[in-house]
Amino acid sequence: MQLLHIDSAITGANSVSRQLTAQTVAAWQAQHPGTQVSYLDLVANAPAHFTSDAMAPRTGQTEDLSAAQQRENAVSEQLVSQFLAADVVVIGAPFYNFSIPSQLKAWIDRIAQPGRTFRYTASGPEGLATGKTVIIASSRGGVYSTSEGGRAMEHQESYLQTVLGFFGVTDVRFVRAEGVGMGEAAKAAALASATQSIREHAASHPTPARDMQAA
């Protein structure tokens, strides 16, 4: 089984989401000892912002590509094929300015490719990245999950759920530490709650659908 471990926090050793992705991957490996892990640090290796030079996979242009277009295509192709090859994807998604880090958004812009992760049909869009499990390690300074007002303000977990669903990923799970900016006691409680949910995922996660197809 292939697991892709992604981090996108800019906070280095102090990062809560990096701590949670590491714990999540370790728990998954303990449960599935043969898992092969690849790692993508979207801060150390940030894809550039999406530009017109990167548009060819979306427009379908394959001829007369400029050097800049070819360079951008190579970046996007590497990222989309890495994503498609994974059975399990663990994504560190810190909550920055009510949303996700721009590095993580840049990655999504690169893998959102018609014919690879989605396609449009007569009956509407269809996701093509099916059969994966995605675990989002979400870290938030404040608390947003417990009120309607909070949920309306967050464009991080809800956005990731939407875009991954658009890509055809139906098994999206969350490991959440929220309120980590609300004092030491709140942070400790948030980390304990996230650790508990990592344990529960590790104990209960079913074999990803693609594995069952292969069996």
Ligand X SMILES: Cc1cc2nc3c(=O)[nH]c(=O)nc-3n(C[C@H](O)[C@H](O)[C@H](O)COP(=O)(O)O)c2cc1C
Residue 103 CB, nearest distance to ligand X (Å)?
11
Number of residues that bind ligand X (CB under 6 A): 17
11 is a site residue for ligand X (CB under 6 A): yes
By CB under 6 A, is residue 96 in contact with ligand X? yes
Residue 136 within binding range of ligand X, rule CB under 6 A:
no
- Decide: is 142 part of the binding site for ligand X (CB under 6 A): yes
Of 17 and 113, CB closest to ligand X:
17
Smallest gap from Cβ 70 to ligand X, in A, equals 33
Least distance in Å: CB of 197 to ligand X? 16
Rg (CA), the chain: 18
Q: Which of 194, 152, 143 is nearest to 173 (CA)?
A: 194
Given candidates 4, 5, 6, 15, which one binds ligand X under the rule CB under 6 A?
Answer: 15
State the Cα–Cα distance between residues 106 and 192, nearest whole angstrom: 31
**Which residue from 141, 158, 173, 211 is in contact with ligand X, where contact means CB under 6 A?**
141
The interaxial angle of helices 102-111 and 67-85, nearest 10 deg, is: 90
Residue 215, Cα to own-chain centre: how many angstroms?
Answer: 26
As a dihedral over the C-alpha atoms of residue 119, residue 107, residue 26, residue 127, rounded to 10 degrees, the angle is -10
Question: Which one of the spans 13-21, 50-58, 64-72, 157-165 is the region binding ligand X (CB under 6 A)?
Answer: 13-21
With 0-12 / 13-18 / 19 or more C-beta atoms within 10 angstroms meaning exposed / middle / buried, residue 24 is: buried
Site of interaction with ligand X (CB under 6 A): 9, 11, 15-18, 94-98, 139-142, 180-181
